[in-house]
Chains A and B, each alone.
Chain A
Amino acid sequence: MKEISLHILDIIQNSISAKAKVIQLTIFESTINNVLIVTIEDNGQGMEEDFLEKVTNPFITTRTTRKVGLGISLLKAAAERCGGSFHIDSQKGIGTKVEAIFQYNHIDRAPLGNMPDTLISIILSLGNDIELIYIHSYNDEAFTLDTREIKEILGYEVLITEREVIKWIRNYIQEGLKKIYGGVGN
């Protein structure tokens, strides 16, 4: 994937497929500690232990038509390629937590990429009954977005997927991120 945000978009599809009700996405960027950590935690159906072991095994794919492996092994490879690491924890019936750690200034680290577009794509696929909590920090600054807060204001008649709402959310995130980056783009 060309951007870390595309991995995020993909990994969150797994949480949705696993019937999660709440998904928490945390992005922790610290130039001081030279790390970028992405964490995706859900309360979906989880995985059995033996399955979990197979899933972290890179490029175990039955696909022969393309080089692209499964989503999890792609993210694992992306993190490990740039001096980072990958962890996945899951418990059947409880949920799953995926964590990818990247060395911030590694030459092979893909850019984080377009988070506002990624988040609206995610929100469109969540529909109305899955919640997303997004916490993004850059050194000492942080931005958060919680779909529950937005839905509370919208009430039950106006869905979060309405185009005017989506447009607003995209601008809101753009502004919020610009602020945590201190006005400079990433």
Chain B
Amino acid sequence: MKSLKELEEIRKRTLENINLRKGREGYRIVVGMATCGIAAGARPVLTSIMDEVNKLDLKNVTVAQTGCIGACRFEPMVEVYSPDGEKVTYIKMNPEKAKAMVASHIKDGKVIDDYTMTVIDGKVIDPVSE
């Protein structure tokens, strides 16, 4: 049985990691968790992102969530902020796409354009037709 004592070990290990990555900016992945996002499957998207980050042992990544990103029909949506502050918005995500996104975008720095949102003349162009 797991006990709170194990946390002490994790604290020590994590502290070393934190010191190692100090000063190095990382990626920030944000999953939309409003009612429509949750109903459309945001939770498994979030957990599969975390699983993949763990599996690939990517150190400089934070995973967070936010409320409504604002476009229900594109949920689940995921925003990725790169170290230079640039933002890429992925739409209609699922656990498989989320895993692929982590491996390609976060690990190798290659955005998966097929999953992203494109805005032309202020209108959202839907790459995945319904």
What is A's interface to B at a CB cutoff of 8 Å? 1, 6, 9-10, 13, 17, 63, 65-66, 68, 70-71, 74, 114, 117-118, 120-121, 124-125, 127, 149-150, 153-155, 157-158, 161-168, 171-172, 175, 179
Minimal beta-carbon separation of B50 from chain A (angstroms): 7
From B4, B46, B47, B50, A153 is in contact (CB under 8 Å) with B4
Q: Contacts A1-B39, A17-B67, A158-B14 known; A120 to B2 CB distance under 8 Å?
A: no
| Contact A121–B65 (Cβ < 8 Å) | yes
Interfacial chain A residues near B67, Cβ < 8 Å: 13, 17
| Contact A163–B18 (Cβ < 8 Å) | no
Scoring B8, B17, B38, B53 by chain A CB atoms within 10 A of each residue's CB, the highest score goes to: B38
How would you classify the secondary structure of chain B's contact residues: helix, strand, loop or mixed?
helix
Interfacial chain B residues near A179, Cβ < 8 Å: 1
Q: Contacts A65-B73, A120-B47, A168-B7 known; A163 to B63 CB distance under 8 Å?
A: yes
From A114, A124, A149, B64 is in contact (CB under 8 Å) with A124
Which residues of B in the span 38-63 have a Cβ within 8 Å of any Cβ on A?
Answer: 38-39, 43-44, 46-47, 50, 53-54, 61-63
| Contact B8–A153 (Cβ < 8 Å) | yes
A161-B62 Cα distance, complex, nearest whole Å: 8
| Contact B34–A161 (Cβ < 8 Å) | no
What are 28 A-B contacts defined by CB distance under 8 Å? A1-B39, A9-B38, A10-B34, A10-B35, A13-B67, A63-B72, A68-B36, A74-B35, A120-B47, A121-B47, A125-B65, A153-B7, A154-B11, A155-B11, A157-B15, A157-B18, A158-B11, A158-B14, A158-B15, A161-B63, A162-B14, A164-B10, A164-B14, A165-B10, A165-B14, A168-B2, A171-B2, A172-B2
B101 at the interface (CB under 8 A from A): no
| Contact A9–B64 (Cβ < 8 Å) | no
Q: Contacts A124-B64, A163-B63, A171-B2 known; A10 to B38 CB distance under 8 Å?
A: yes
Minimal beta-carbon separation of B98 from chain A (angstroms): 13
B108 at the interface (CB under 8 A from A): no
Nearest first, the 7 closest Cβ-Cβ pairs linking A and B are A125-B65, A71-B35, A153-B7, A172-B2, A158-B14, A117-B47, A158-B11
A71-B72 Cα distance, complex, nearest whole Å: 14
Scoring A121, A157, A172, A175 by chain B CB atoms within 10 A of each residue's CB, the highest score goes to: A121
Minimal beta-carbon separation of A164 from chain B (angstroms): 5
A71-B38 Cα distance, complex, nearest whole Å: 10
Interfacial chain A residues near B1, Cβ < 8 Å: 175, 179
Whose C-beta in chain B lies nearest to the C-beta of A179? Answer: B1
| Contact B53–A163 (Cβ < 8 Å) | yes
A29-B31 Cα distance, complex, nearest whole Å: 30
Given pairs A165-B7, A168-B2, 8 additional interface contacts (CB within 8 A): A9-B38, A68-B35, A117-B44, A117-B47, A153-B4, A163-B50, A166-B50, A172-B2
Which residues of B in the span 8-32 have a Cβ within 8 Å of any Cβ on A?
Answer: 8, 10-11, 13-15, 17-18
